Structure 1
Amino acid sequence: MRSLSADEVRWLRVRAQGLAGDGAGVSGEPASRAVAAAVRTAAALQAQAAGPVRLQVWARTRGLRAADVDAAVAEAAVVRTWLMRGTIHMVAADDLRAFLAVLGPVNLRADRRRREQLELGDSVCARAMDALAKILAGDRVLTRAEIVAELAGHGVVIDLKSQQPPHLLAFAANSALICRGPDAARDEPTYVLLDDWLEPAALPDRETALTRLAERYFAAYGPATTADLAAWSGLPAADAKAAAVLVRDSLEEVEHDGQRLLLPRGAGAGAEATPMPPQNPHRLLARFDPYLLGHRSRDLILAPAFAKRVNAGGGMIAQTMLADGRIVGTWKPNLLEPFEDLLPDLPPAAAEAWQREMDSAAAF
């Protein structure tokens, strides 16, 4: 078994995430295909807010614009729905049903108590499902407020200003009835019937779905453990182990700091010779970037002393500065905020590289 240094593990994860500075461009292919490829590279992008997910795509591509991400959504090349950890994610359209087959039941079970607290019991949810199928039929695309208003006409009365609508919509999404559609004005979410938005198809069987999820995860986040897979996906530990077993023959085992990690066979080739990408080791990451969300612990990439600068609480993940696979600061438009203890004096070459990143993000 090969032993990898911390630098090698970080480099392999940076490269797997499409953050090595060689992201896919748009030359010779539709922009929507490049967007889908970038999303697939990360397995999934956290997408509860439109702005950050656009920038997550930017970090993994070249030559795109924010409008290209919106177009990929409108063309259903990528789709958003509740998936990993019960949170809205953007995934490639051809991955959606496999991920949903595995994670939908997990999310439904996890949210059951909260639904009951909100008076969304089984009978209410069943009536809402029937009503939603009628309300959204015929390729209709409706906002949350429009759906709530029309549900009332079908005898399902819920309070728009409460937590009832998002939990009811999440129930329908995790039941494979609906998904997010293209955003309305000012990035307001809309919802559509899944089988109208994509070509109708049955959910794959559990083994096929678990295999797809595990393949995507280890390709995007390896070297990683099955505990990391569970933390990223929200799967129970036993299911994460079962998923890893299904793809074990395609994975290589390596050792780091006394821990055994898995990654796709051949993915580690050359890691020892090039511990970090020399062409562009300084990158800027969006809020909620999956590089920070793919493993049970962030300690390898983010020193615990600075953790609250990145995640102050409430699930918010700041925009971050990446150097040689480590998080070394946060940023805002036209403002770099390096962690003083790590970078007391910002090297001119690094400052220039990050400035190019800011200019590129602004152009995007």
Structure 2
Amino acid sequence: MADRRLTDRELNRALLARQLLLKRAALSPVTAIERLAGLQAQWSPAPYVGLWSRLATFTIADLEGALADRAVVKATLMRGTLHLVSAKDYPALSVATTRSRPERWAPAARRLADADTIHRATIKHARTARTREALADFLVTQGVTAELSRPMLWWLIASHGSLVHVPPSGTWTHRKAGDLIAADAWIRAAHEPTLDAALRLAVQRHLAAFGPATVDDISSWSSIRTPAIRVALEELGPTIRTFVDERGRRLYDLTGAPLPPADTAAPVRYLPKWDSTLLAYAAPERVRILSEAHRKTVIAKNGDVAQTILVDGMVAGTWSATVKIGEATIAVTPFGRLAKPDRAALIEEGERLATFVGGTATSHGVTIA
């Protein structure tokens, strides 16, 4: 039997359902972060806004508490970028996104004679939390030149993993580089899986959060090489089903994962910077949520991703927040003319968002250009 063909709109509704954007969910931050395959966290407020848009009840203290309790960790993972993931998922995602891609770091490796030995020594040194400066200084004692110590520190973190951030890194107001500590010194009962098991979990997490998707989509999101992804899909056996999209590309999915009807109503939503819904696919697969006509407005050449609004499930503009003493304002810049019901819904949702980001502000407003 031929694979079922899914339209872009059906894929859009599947994505919204799995990203908890059709209806806010009654989940804890930890469970939600696992369902969402992590939250990108270069900008500290982003995961908070992302969870606020997805959860029925969510406060800043909820996520900060999960970080303090070590149930959620901040680390360099997918695409060599900062993410919040559950402590339970961290070991597998770290293994999958580092050990499966050594060739990505080959140019840097040639500048570091014995990277594995230096990495082991660095992890041992980081059994207690260390500043980046202290870790860079330690690399100098291991034979790295002072000039290269800082870039090599980032390379070690991105290519070898096993270091996580210590709060207040990851908290709502924290903007500075965080201290780092060995993951197994921070996460209780951390167990490092085999590479094969780690790859299977990474593939499952992606499909549960963003599927149906192509092999290239999973690779683009994770930086895992496509041959390794194909092996993981094969090993997952009957838990995987396949479809094709409008362009005839094969899509993989988890058996039983939600596929809402194309005409399912989608409420307006505000997404934070670097929201993974816009970054989980290889071009041109993003068309299921982001029109190619607006891609360059939303995703800059330097990789910066704007805060966006969703109208009928599609990116329809950008937004920004201004918080002053006593006042918080959300400014919306739509890409085109908004229907009156959508405009009213954006104002209503935006006022709630202004209350969330505004802290002690007593005045909250929304402007739409």
Which TM bucket (shorter chain)?
Answer: 0.7 to 0.9
SS, match of residue 284 in structure 1: strand
- Offset at residue 353 of structure 1 (A): 1.8
**Aligned CA distance change for structure 1 residues 265 and 132 (closer, same or farther; 3 Å):** closer
* Aligned residue type for 1:93: A
- TM alignment of 1:30-45, pairs within 5 A: 34-45=28-39
Give deviations 1:78-136, integer Å, cap 9, x for gaps: 112222122222211111111122211245542231355xx5x13477346425523x3
2:331 counterpart residue number:
335
1:133 counterpart residue number:
124
* Number of equivalent positions: 339
1:262 counterpart residue number:
252
1:79 counterpart residue number:
73
Contact 2:219–2:225 (CA under 8 A) maintained in structure 1: yes
- TM alignment of 1:205-244, pairs within 5 A: 205-244=194-233
Contact 1:45–1:290 (CA under 8 A) maintained in structure 2: yes
Taking only the aligned residue pairs, the percentage that are identical comes to: 27
Q: Please state if 1:289 is matched with 2:254.
A: no
Q: Please state if 1:360 is matched with 2:352.
A: yes
* Aligned residue type for 2:22: A
Aligned equivalents of 2:114, 2:240: Cα separation in 1 = 45
1:347 counterpart residue number:
339
Aligned equivalents of 1:155, 1:85: Cα separation in 2 = 27
- Offset at residue 43 of structure 1 (A): 0.8
- TM alignment of 1:1-364, pairs within 5 A: 1-25=3-27, 34-114=28-108, 116=110, 119=111, 121-123=112-114, 126-127=117-118, 129-134=120-125, 136-137=126-127, 140-149=128-137, 154=141, 159=146, 164-165=149-150, 167-172=152-157, 174-183=159-168, 186-188=174-176, 189-257=178-246, 258-268=248-258, 271-272=260-261, 275-276=263-264, 278=265, 280-297=266-283, 298-333=286-321, 334-340=330-336, 344=337, 346-364=338-356
Aligned equivalents of 2:241, 2:194: Cα separation in 1 = 26
Unaligned runs of 5+ in 2: 322-329, 357-369
SS, match of residue 62 in structure 1: coil
**Aligned CA distance change for structure 1 residues 149 and 262 (closer, same or farther; 3 Å):** closer
- Offset at residue 72 of structure 1 (A): 1.5
**Aligned CA distance change for structure 1 residues 77 and 208 (closer, same or farther; 3 Å):** same
**Aligned CA distance change for structure 1 residues 361 and 215 (closer, same or farther; 3 Å):** same
- Offset at residue 220 of structure 1 (A): 0.7
Aligned equivalents of 2:124, 2:222: Cα separation in 1 = 28
What TM-score, normalized by structure 2, do the two folds share?
Answer: 0.83
Contact 1:11–1:325 (CA under 8 A) maintained in structure 2: yes
1:31 counterpart residue number:
none
Aligned equivalents of 2:215, 2:70: Cα separation in 1 = 31
**Aligned CA distance change for structure 1 residues 80 and 283 (closer, same or farther; 3 Å):** same
SS, match of residue 238 in structure 1: helix
Give deviations 1:177-220, integer Å, cap 9, x for gaps: 42122135833212111111012444211221122111111111
* Aligned residue type for 2:220: A
- Offset at residue 300 of structure 1 (A): 2.7
- Offset at residue 175 of structure 1 (A): 3.0
2:362 counterpart residue number:
none
Aligned equivalents of 1:157, 1:229: Cα separation in 2 = 35
Contact 1:24–1:38 (CA under 8 A) maintained in structure 2: no
Aligned equivalents of 2:148, 2:22: Cα separation in 1 = 40
User: What is the RMSD of the two structures over their aligned residues, measured on CA atoms?
Assistant: 2.5
Contact 2:93–2:202 (CA under 8 A) maintained in structure 1: yes
